[in-house]
Amino acid sequence: MIGRVGARVAAGSVSAAIALVTLGPATAHHVGTYVPKDNEITTNFKQIKFSVQAGRFDVALRLFETGPLQADMRARATTLPAGLEAGLHAALERGDGAEVERRLMIFFAARARDLAREAARQTADPTRSREARAAIGARFLEAIWRYYNLVDFAVAQRDDTTSVAIRLAFDEATGYARSAAAPDRLREPLSRIAHVLSTLIESSTPARRGS
């Protein structure tokens, strides 16, 4: 189900980006093993996921209706496929685990896509110093991975090529973020992440199936 992270990308690249964010000691993380700290939305996602896995759709529905994930979906409705929230609610009501997974995958892919777009914009700002753009890139990369990491397994089950493309672009961007001499190169892999995720969202929400 959602949230399992495979290990396909070479180790070592994410550690520097995280160090830029935390200003703490470097740790040997990489895309395949690093799991960012949860926030209230990712915590709520995991509660819903585990309830669905246990077959407790009544509990999952209540957690969705009362939790921050639904509130965030509503706040971002204009950037999401039409009816995504309503369809997720309906899937929980009828106990359709596969459909719950698909819709949650779309939501978190959209979250990561929007962050990648904003990161590309901000790291290309010529009014900021190279050091500032590198630090901004690192912070956005951590946020992108916080959301995408939750659904990478679901993405890989559908199209492993998409999963690998996102991971490689993320790894490349992280390498640029760790060097204050290379933030000008961040825009391309960040834009690639956004493009691949947009394609994933579109292909996962064909008109004939609704949102």
pLDDT one-digit tens code per residue, 54-93 = 999 999 999 999 999 999 999 999 999 999 999 999 999 9
211 within a domain of the structure (yes/no): no
Average pLDDT over residues 18-44: 57
Residue 5 within any structural domain of the chain: no
Q: Is residue 6 part of a domain?
A: no
| Domain-located, residue 9 | no
Number of domains comprising the chain = 1
In a domain, 1, yes or no: no
Average pLDDT of the residues in 124-139: 92
> How far apart are the C-alpha atoms of 28 and 26, rounded to whole Å?
7
State whether residue 188 is helix, strand or coil: helix
pTM summary value: 0.81
Residue 8 lies in a domain: no
Long-range contacts of 69-76 (CB under 8 A, 24+ apart): 69/41, 69/44, 69/45, 69/107, 72/41, 73/107, 76/110, 76/111, 76/114
Q: Dihedral of the CA atoms 150, 156, 162, 166 (nearest 10)?
A: 40
Q: Which domain holds residue 176?
A: 14-205
Kindly state whether residue 134 falls inside one of the protein's structural domains. yes
Is the pLDDT at 2 greater than 60, yes or no? no
What's the alpha-carbon Rg for the chain, to the nearest Å? 17
pLDDT 10s digits, 173-205: 999 998 877 888 999 999 999 999 999 999 998
Percent residues over pLDDT 70 in the chain: 81
